[in-house]
Structure 1
Amino acid sequence: MANTYQPVYQPGPTPNYASPYAPPSAPPPNENGHYDQKSPYEGERFKPRKRLNDPFFFVFFLLQLAGFIVVSGIAVNQWVKSGGLGGGVGSGHTGTDVTLNYHTVYLLLFITAAALLLSTIYLILTRIFTRLIMHFTLLLSITLNIGICVYYWTTRYWSGAIIFTIIALLSIFAYFGYRARIPLASLLLQVVMDVAKHHWSVYTVAFLALFVQAAWSVLYTFTVIAIYAKWTPGNPSCGNGSSCSSGKVAGLIFYATFSYLWTSQTIGNVALATLAGGPFGCWYYFGPRDQGKMPRRPTLSSFGRASSLSLGSIAFGSLIVTLLDILRLLLDMIRNNANADGSFVEACLAMCAECFVGCIEGLVQYFNRYAYIEIALYGKPYLQAARDTWRMIKDRGIDALINDSLVGMTLTWGAYAIGLMCALFAYLYLRYTHPSYNSDGQYTAPVLLFAFLIGLQCMMTLSSVIEAGVSTIFVGLGEDPQVLAVRAPALFGVIASTYPQVVQGVPRV
């Protein structure tokens, strides 16, 4: 069977990965010669019991979100009453020189808009191009890593230079290693994109998630600036009886960043679960909408489950990743301080620990995505979904398929590149506008960090939506590979030839 695939993006005949969509009169026989006709609703799939899963994390998530809103309301309200701290768009040496001012607000708002625009462009390009975008994002990330590496070497920022030299070399080696996987990964993306062509709710969820993420980033931006303005010692609001200290500012910034990251993770994962239990899962198990077997309003029903009964389970998994992300950021701060103090050995140890935590975080994120799909399809608690996901991986032998998925790798590199471009924009803006509060460059690092996080989180939200389709196909393969043999025989044939252990016992169609 040919491994090439030419997608059709305009209305017309369905692409050849399922030509036509209609399944044959009976599914293919299994290894015993019997026909396996499982119900799509088997095991409470798509119709889970109505119970609130992981209620502790459900309540904990809502409480921390409420706490963030309270802190944000107090800080922003006081900041608005005091008239801000001056500064503006490209206004240079204006406003207070004590702490961040309106200049930074506008800067981070520009960054949020840029992240939104870049993420939207990335979605459009991925929709039109597939194989090319995989090469492009990998090469773009390599170029950015090399550029940062060269800059750090020329400025003699030794620990940063060593780190980005290693990252640049790894990205180069990774490109040549993953290049052979691009045909299968591009085919998977093309299938997902063409399924989405028949379900515009996919793009509705994508843009709504992106809009909510952008709005959340804006709120976080105002909150951080207002916290600096209200509680930094020496600023005008401290004369109003408020207790100001650097420790309070650090603690509130830490809490705001923790809440921002956790809520951002949850937003993206709710979008993932919505699509996995909605259009993508229903396409896999019921066939296309025009066959008349798909439930009505699958996306809306799936969103209702993900945002209510399963929200605690999704927040549970998101919290694990958030804690690892916070730990990685703390290690990054330790490394920067050690480098500033000239402690080269301490900086290298912190760098190694940061890389180790980053690898664990990536693995947990990758595993969690499949657990969220189990949650979306069956309404399971998080720990049960995680156990069943691991059991499915071991029983079906799809370890290689998960580890070699280039789709997630490509989208992650895209998010990383967008985050870097947002940070670069912030650096250039600070350098050429010279705000008063940053006369000695003391706020460059936190502003760049905020810019990178905003760009990264916006793109990661979009990535989680796109990856939902590919990951749902993987979960379906692990549980019922014969369904894909009927639904998309060309894709099934490519996967069978690449990973024969995945479809063992299922004849090719």
Structure 2
Amino acid sequence: MEDQHTDDAIGRNTPPALARGPEPVRHWRDVFWLTVFVLHLILFGLVLGLLGLNRFREADRLNLDKFTKHNAGGSSESTTEKYWPIYGTAAGLGALIAWAWLLFLCRKGNQMMKFSIHSVTTYLALVSVFCFWIGEIFWGITCAIGAVLQFLYVLSVMDRFPFSMLVLRKAVKMLWELPEAAKVSYGFVVVMLMWMVLWSFGVSGVVASGIADGARWWLLVIFSVSLFWTGAVFCNVVHVIVAGLVTLVLIHGGKASPTMPPKPLLRSFKYSVTTSLGSVCYGSLFTAAIRTMRWGVRAMRSLIEHNECLLCCVNFLFNVVETLVRFFNKYAYVQVAITGKSFNHSACDAWELFQSTGIEALVAYDCSGAILLMTVILGGLLTGTCAGTWAWLRNKDEAVMIGSTAVLMGMVLVGLTVVIIESAVTSLYICYAMDPSLINQWDSEFYKEVREVLHQRLQHRSGHDISSHHGVLTSMGLSI
């Protein structure tokens, strides 16, 4: 009787099912940011090509050293091809790790996620010791701080891991039903590798140049930011494609449903690389940084909840970050895939939807995104360590430069495969918030477990008094 009452409540209080009517015409969104991204690719591509060519097979082929302080840093006789093979190996290794990561995550998801969680701290500590041993004090301290922060974060969210693992397992289950999602991911890995050929060519020229160390580091930072943005755009294009595919499957009740639009993957791909590409470029600039800040602030709140003075300061920072999250969050990509709205509009819609239905309590409790980030970081560390070790054996002076930039290459490539799992997770949450029956008809056991955890989180937030949330609970199919 209770289940029947729950189903009736869902039917009465949830919004109408999505996307079952005619598809509206989509307009180009955030065109300014799309233009900026394309111009950035053209400009950086030209600069990278020139810097790489200047040292290719001949030192200072284009006579660019006259614009720098000659011989102030690297060897003036070094050439691009001395370092390019190392970066090529790093890219190949990153792609291999990315392929293996996704394969094992889909087949042995629980074990791989636990391995990533516990390995990042240990690996950072080992890298820190190695950096101290070779005299790189700054990087040794940086890695040590990273290891400590990672350890503290894991301690602060340990109780959330069971639910987060459940969500990740269900996301993997969804992807098993959609093997084309993995093909999209691997396709974009290939495209990213093509861009990395040019990027590593130019960066190898920078490392080989005679520019002062400080100037070389600044150039590497600038080019790394460019690679990060490019990689983030590629990742989020995949995110939008997979989100569009997953939501269509959930909305229409399966791939074989007669109401399913023809060629759903092609449909989702078309929108993500045309009308919605500007929104992806815009969101990719900010979402990763803001998400990382949010995880850090939440971890700090958990660790100092009994210190009122510090908690007051952290709460102020938390409110600032939460305001930013309203306009920049990963759930916006699902809304972009569904509605084709601008990024900020989609982000606000997603956040207001979560706030109005109470799902925000569940999203805040879930740390599946952080777990996936740990797998990305571990993949990057493995790639960077291998590249850095090879460079150290050949020339100790440039080992840290090459290793640190190779870490980013590995993270980007692994991120391109892991993002399909995150896309499935975000799509499940958005669909649950819009219409819980979509999740119920896909996996009733998962629906019940999510409903139970949501009930607990709302109780926790209201101090075990949920009378004020009666309307929310009813709309989400919960009984008091």
Q: Calculate the TM-score normalised by the size of structure 1.
A: 0.73
**Is the counterpart of residue 498 in structure 1 residue 453 in structure 2?**
yes
Change (3 A) 1:365 1:155: farther
Counterpart Cα distance in 1 of 2:428 and 2:82: 46
In the alignment, what sits opposite 1:468? 423
| Contact 1:57-1:313 within 8 A present in 2 as well | yes
The CA distance in 2 between the partners of 1:97 and 1:461, in whole Å, is: 37
How far has the Cα of 1:493 moved from its partner? 0.6
Would the alpha carbon gap of residues 318 and 81 (structure 1) be closer, same or farther in structure 2, given more than 3 Å must change? same
Q: Which residue of 1 aligns with 2:272?
A: 306
- Given that 1:29 and 1:36 are in contact with CA atoms closer than 8 Å, whether structure 2 keeps it comes out as no
Checking the alignment, whether the CA contact within 8 Å between 1:47 and 1:378 is kept in structure 2 is no
Does 1:41 pair with 2:8?
A: no
Larger mean CA deviation between 151-160 and 101-110 belongs to 151-160
Superposed CA offset, 1:45-89 (max 9, x none):
x9343211111112111111121232234444555574999xxxx
Distance 1:158 1:427, change over 3 A: closer
* One-letter amino acid of the structure 2 residue matched with residue 470 of structure 1: V
1:248-263 matched pairs, under 5 angstroms = 253=220, 255-263=222-230
Partner of 1:341: none
Deviation of 1:272 (Å): 0.2
Q: Distance in 2 between matches of 1:321 and 1:476?
A: 21
Aligned counterpart in structure 1 of residue 150 of structure 2, from 157, 162, 171: 171
Q: CA deviation at 1:141?
A: 0.8
Against the structure 1 CA distance between its residues 380 and 494, is the aligned structure 2 distance closer, same or farther, given a 3 Å change threshold?
A: same
State the Cα deviation string for residues 415-436 of structure 1 (Å, max 9, x = none): 111111122112321232x33x
Using the TM superposition, give the Cα deviation of residue 384 of structure 1 relative to its aligned residue in structure 2, in angstroms.
0.8
Unaligned 5+ runs, structure 1 = 1-26, 86-94, 234-244, 328-355
Question: What whole-Å deviation, never above 9, does each CA across 1:308-343 have from its counterpart, x for those lacking one?
Answer: 101111111112358889x9xxxxxxxxxxxxxxxx
**Coordinate RMSD, CA, aligned:** 3.7
Match of residue 9 from structure 1: none
CA 1:227–1:324: 2 relative to 1, 3 Å: farther
Q: Deviations over 1:156-177 (max 9, x none)?
A: 7666555544433343343344
Distance verdict in 2 for CA 1:274–1:132, change over 3 Å: same
Within a 5 Å distance, the mapping from 1:51-450 to structure 2 comes to: 51-80=27-56, 82=58, 98-99=77-78, 101-151=80-130, 160=139, 162-227=141-206, 232=210, 253=220, 255-278=222-245, 280-321=246-287, 367-432=328-393, 434-435=394-395, 438=396, 441=397, 443-450=398-405
Deviations 1:169-193 (A, max 9, x none): 3433433444433333333223222
Deviation at 1:489, TM superposition (A): 1.1
In 2: Cα distance, 1:248 partner to 1:151 partner: 25
SS at 1:30 equivalent = helix
1:237-292 Cα offsets, whole Å, 9 max, x none, are xxxxxxxx9998677655533332221110000000011012x1112211111232
Deviation readout 1:18-46 (Å, 9 max, x if unpaired): xxxxxxxxx93226x7486824227x8x9
Partner Cα separation in structure 1 for residue 432 and residue 333 of structure 2 = 16
Contact 2:164 2:368 survives alignment (8 Å)? yes
User: Higher mean Cα deviation, 452-461 or 473-482?
Assistant: 473-482
Cα distance in 1 for partners of 2:139, 2:55 equals 36
Alignment partners' CA distance in 2, 1:463 and 1:56? 29
The 8 Å contact of residues 419 and 455 in structure 1, kept in 2 or not, is answered as yes
Q: TM-score when scaled to structure 2? A: 0.77
Instruction: Show structure 1 runs of 4+ deviating over 6 A.
Output: 245-251, 322-325
Distance 2:214 2:385 in 1: 29
Worse-superposed segment, 217-226 or 399-408: 399-408
C-alpha change, 1:165 and 1:59, in structure 2 (3 Å) is closer
Percent sequence identity over aligned pairs: 21
Q: Which aligned pairs between 1:12-31 and structure 2 lie closer than 5 A? A: 28-30=7-9
Distance 1:169 1:253 in 2: 26
Maintained 8 Å contact 1:84/1:101: no
The Cα of 1:208 is off from its aligned counterpart by: 0.9
- Give me the whole-angstrom Cα distance separating, in 1, the residues matched to 2:13 and 2:228: 47
Kept after mapping to 2: 8 A contact 1:115/1:459: yes
| 1:368 match: secondary structure | coil
Per-residue CA deviations over 1:448-467 (Å, capped at 9, x if unaligned) read 22111111111122222221
Number of aligned residues: 423
Amino acid at match of 2:269: F
TM-aligned CA distance change 1:48 to 1:60, over 3 Å: farther
- Paired residue for 2:71? none
Q: Is the 8 A contact 1:196 1:202 kept in 2?
A: yes
CA distance in 2, matches of 1:507, 1:394: 16
Indicate how the Cα distance of structure 1 residues 375 and 402 shifts in structure 2: closer, same or farther if over 3 A, else same: same
Q: Following TM superposition, by how much is the alpha carbon of 1:140 offset from its aligned partner in structure 2, in angstroms? A: 0.9
Is the Cα–Cα contact under 8 Å of residues 31 and 278 in structure 2 kept in the other structure?
yes
Structure 2: give runs of 5+ residues left out of the alignment: 1-5, 62-73, 294-316, 459-471
Aligned residues of 1:481 and 1:503 also touching (Cα < 8 A): no
